[in-house]
Amino acid sequence: MKKINMVKYDGYRYIEGGVCAAKGFKANGLYSGIKKAMDAALTPDGNESPLSNDKPDLCLVAADVMCNAAAVFTQNKVKGAPVTLSQKHLKATGGKAKGFILNSKNANTCNADGEEKAAEMCRLAAEKLGIRTEEMLIAQTGVIGQIMPIQPVRDHINELYDGLSYDGNEKAAIAIMTTDTVKKEVAVEFEIGGKTCRMGGMGKGSGMIHPNMATTLNVITTDCAVSAEMLQKALDEVVKITYNCLSVDGDQSTNDTCAVMADGLAGNDEIVSEGGDFEKFRQALFIIMSNITKMLAKDGEGATKLLECQVSGAEDQEQAIIIAKSVICSPLFKCAMFGADANWGRILCAVGYADAQFDINKVDVKLSSRAGEVHVCHNGAGIPFSEEDAKKVLGEDEIFIIVSVGDGEGRAAAWGCDLSYDYVKINGDYRS
């Protein structure tokens, strides 16, 4: 299992439940046969792709009451139909939503009838929930450029709705997996204004992950009462230092979506401005999104190691982010980590071509893991270290690259994974 080590935070407690952890949220996931229908359309002889299977491919998350909602989406100029439709729905409702329908196997992108199909999925779900179509959000993932078969959704919408439950989070999290090897969900409990609040999320993603935006598909739910405006503000601020600092392979998806729904059932006074309550809420959102970010990185396609680059001493946070991401995105560095090779020159190389200002003579680099720490570079130059000790440090499945670039206040982290032989294998036959 590719589990991550979750950091503990004072005032917050990890709980079970994923997107169903907060009061008033139900979910379900099931197999509808989307891939089978795609194969049938492509192969008139009726032969199925060897990758056709009965893995869940459709899910629904629904709230008992109308929610305030916020979202961030891909910055790719080529956007999937679900992205453009969800953007329209949020604008039309002024940041309201009661349900979120998602599917895997087909991204519904670059299709002439894409938005029509996405709208039909929203309509089918909205009809079951007794709401307007515009009060539904949608996200889709899978192959780009193949027609999205709508009949499997029509055939299974009743079963999907009837199976909604307050403990259906795992079914939903599994249904959005593509090349993911593990489901990704996390939830926390905290207090605001004397009321117990809960927040939970699920994400998917293994490949085609690169900043910027809301890398991959993510659904976050909370029973904390917070306005749509402050929800969007918190999400914009947190995505910048979590999902936007994640890279697996340098390819940015067309369908990236991260949406947050808040139903207010915790009973706290609604957060409508900045202050202590907003800070507490934003920290909870950071805990959810930073943990899912690490889960996504550790489950990168073909990955064997989670890599975290921590940068300090930069002029400001923006500069630190640029440097950390530069290291994480370096293919040569990623290959070295796969081979447990302490080739620190590749780290300095990536630091050096980052579009940031710093004094190379003040750069310091350490490599760390559960097995210990090795200091490999001081003041921009190599220092003696044990290759044997370094091999042990880099042999672990979670590696920290600690980089100091000066005496500034700026600090940030970025996450990624190593680059293995299996990455090419996985992407060499992704469609077949």
* Contacting residues for 214 by C-beta, under 8 A, at least 6 apart: 71, 72, 73, 74, 239, 243, 244, 256, 257, 258
Return the H-helix or E-strand segment holding 292: helix 276-298
Dist. CA 207–CA 256, nearest whole Å: 12
Q: Supply the DSSP symbol for 32.
A: -
Dist. CA 375–CA 384, nearest whole Å: 8
Pairing of strands 58-73, 25-30: antiparallel
| Residue of 74, 109, 215, 293 marked catalytic | 215
Dist. CA 187–CA 185, nearest whole Å: 7
Radius of gyration of the chain (CA): 22
Q: 78 with 125: CB under 8 angstroms?
A: no
Dihedral of the alpha carbons of 209, 213, 217, 220, in degrees to the nearest 10: 140
Looking at the chain, the number of H-run helices and the number of E-run strands are 12, 15
Q: 206 with 235: CB under 8 angstroms?
A: no
Residue 361 CB-density burial (10 A; 0-12 exposed, 13-18 middle, 19+ buried)? exposed
Please confirm, yes or no, whether 257 is among the known catalytic residues.
no
Dist. CA 386–CA 396, nearest whole Å: 16
Residues acting as catalytic residues: 215
